[in-house]
Amino acid sequence: MRLSKLAPILAAAVFLAACTTVAATPVAASEHEEPVGNLAELMRAILFPNSNFLFDVQTTDPGAPPEAGSEDDRSASSLFSGIYTGWQVPQQAALALAEVEPLIMNAERKCENGKDAPVANEDYQKWAKQLTDVARQIHAAAHEEDQEKVSDLTNQLAGACEDCHAVYRKYQDRCRR
């Protein structure tokens, strides 16, 4: 198999290996921990897609056999879509969300508008912790392969996201506080 075909797998493995412990306060950045992206980019890269994998459990049984894709589709997404299937998808999505708190709490993180991310604010810290807590619960429920429980918990996940977004996210003025 060519290295270019293994790149998405290697990138995922490196990401998972790089996860750190959960923090309740802003994480001081060393020269090796300086954020690469701003908070919006981080949300789009990790939180948004993984949340959607979890929300999908509301209508799709992860334990059901996967649908066959087109054999003509040679894209990386198509080629690697069958590697992790079934309950591994919500398990890994919940893991990513449960481990993301140190990334969104990095004291050097900027908002999309260039302002400092509100990592020192008590409410932001509370919502980051809520995200971690519900993601851990979803992770456990996904390992139990309990679709109803995962689905129910996604309501709490949506609530944790919405609580923070209602205060810190506006389309015209990201991280407005």
Q: Whole-prediction pTM value?
A: 0.75
Structure tokens at 99: 């481990």
How many CA atoms does the CB half-sphere of 51 hold within 13 Å?
Answer: 20
Instruction: Compute the distance between CA of residue 99 and CA of residue 161 in angstroms, rounded to an integer.
Output: 15
pLDDT at 130: 96
| pLDDT at residue 136 greater than cutoff 70 | yes
Q: What residue ranges do the domains of the chain occupy?
A: 3-168
pLDDT at 14: 39
Instruction: Compute the distance between CA of residue 4 and CA of residue 74 in angstroms, rounded to an integer.
Output: 13
Q: Which residue has the higher pLDDT, 174 or 105?
A: 105
Task: Give the CA angle between residues 149, 154, 158 to the nearest 5°.
Answer: 160
- Minimum mean pLDDT range among 42-46, 54-58, 80-84, 105-109: 80-84
Structure tokens at 129: 């912790």
| pLDDT at residue 41 greater than cutoff 60 | yes
Tens-place pLDDT, residues 68-106? 656 666 666 565 666 778 899 999 999 999 999 999 999
| Residue labelled with tokens 């809520």 | 130
